[in-house]
Amino acid sequence: MNINWKELRTSLDKRLVNSGECPISYEDKMPIHINILRIVNANPDLLASLHTVISRLRDVDLGTIKLITIEFVITDFCVSKKNVILLDKIECCESPASSKR
């Protein structure tokens, strides 16, 4: 299966609505939000330096991301193992392990 991010988000929205949920959903499904940084020191000088570096990288092409599995979970802010509840899993494509069979 080779589908794009917009199709995955549309499918996930439908699955959530069909299961009785009311997901925050936007008409434009193409934008992607990925958390890649967590700030643990709010020192103003460090934050200013970080902002300068990130601003230079704002328009860098990150290439293509290949999703294998999307897990829909309930968790705490730290994603602690003991507090993760897996609600659903969507397999986006054949995993490398299963393709070796």
43-99 pLDDT, tens digit per residue, is 999 889 988 988 888 777 777 777 788 787 887 777 778 888 888 887 876 655 544
Residues 50-71, buried b or exposed e (16+ Cβ, 10 A)?
eeeeeeeeeeeeeeeeeeeeee
Beta strands in 1-101 (DSSP E): 69-74, 85-91
Task: For residue 35, give Cα distances in angstroms to 39, 95, 100.
Answer: 11, 23, 31
Model pTM? 0.43
* Residue 70 near residue 8, CB atoms below 8 Å: yes
Phi, psi of 27 (to 5 degrees): -60, -45
Q: Could you give the CA distance from residue 26 to residue 69 in angstroms, rounded to a whole number?
A: 22
pLDDT at 92: 78
The range of the structural domain enclosing residue 31 comes to 5-99
Average the pLDDT over 3-25 and give the result: 83
Quick one: what percent of the chain has pLDDT higher than 90? 3
Q: How many domains in the chain?
A: 1
